[in-house]
Amino acid sequence: MDDTQQPQAAGTGTTAAEAAAELAGIRRRQEQVIKAVLVPVWYWWVMAAAIVAIGAARDSGNLVVQATVIPLAVLVMAVLTGVMIPQVRRRVQVHTPQTDGRAAAAIFAMIVLVDGVIISLAISLAAARVPHPVTIACAAGAAVLVITGPLVNGYVRKLMLRQARQQATGVPQAAGTP
């Protein structure tokens, strides 16, 4: 070794392969954290079942059934939603990337779509004098929820990963690229 060579500064002896492996590990951990924040798939199924129960109770025409099932289904939906928010926060002890308004807009659009399907289909079926219009409409809305819930989760996941990459590199991503 030549006496004129300077010693390497601490931490600069890392090879490109080691750095790439470490970066891949960081990305894996980010994805695990983001996955833990998202709503589990079973949540959409429970909400869908509650929606169908409300529709079936309404179409039953039985006031006792309506007075029992509808408040119970609404209670299940409210409690489940109320429990999910703190549960997600407890599972994630680290700072997760905050998404912009696109995540909220996607969730809002999903809610409007589900409600729109239920209301418009129930009105159309009732006008056509189809038996059990609210049950059918709620089943259709529940199907939309079960399909779009995981899709919204995937979209929010992409937004959060994009923001995590942006924060890691300091380079803003294109606005239309999740």
DSSP 60-83: H--HHHHHHHHHHHHHHHHHHHHH
pLDDT at 58 over 90: yes
pLDDT at 31: 76
More confidently predicted of 103 and 92: 103
Tokens of 90: 């407890």
Residue 12: band (very low, low, confident or very high) from pLDDT cuts 50, 70, 90: low
Name the pTM for this structure.
Answer: 0.73
Residues 6+ apart with CB under 8 A from 16: none
Neighbours of 49 (CB within 10 A): 15
Q: Region 128-138: what's the mean pLDDT?
A: 97
Q: Region 103-128: what's the mean pLDDT?
A: 95
Residues 6+ apart with CB under 8 A from 97: 34, 160, 163, 164, 167
Rounded CA gap, 74 and 77, in Å?
Answer: 5
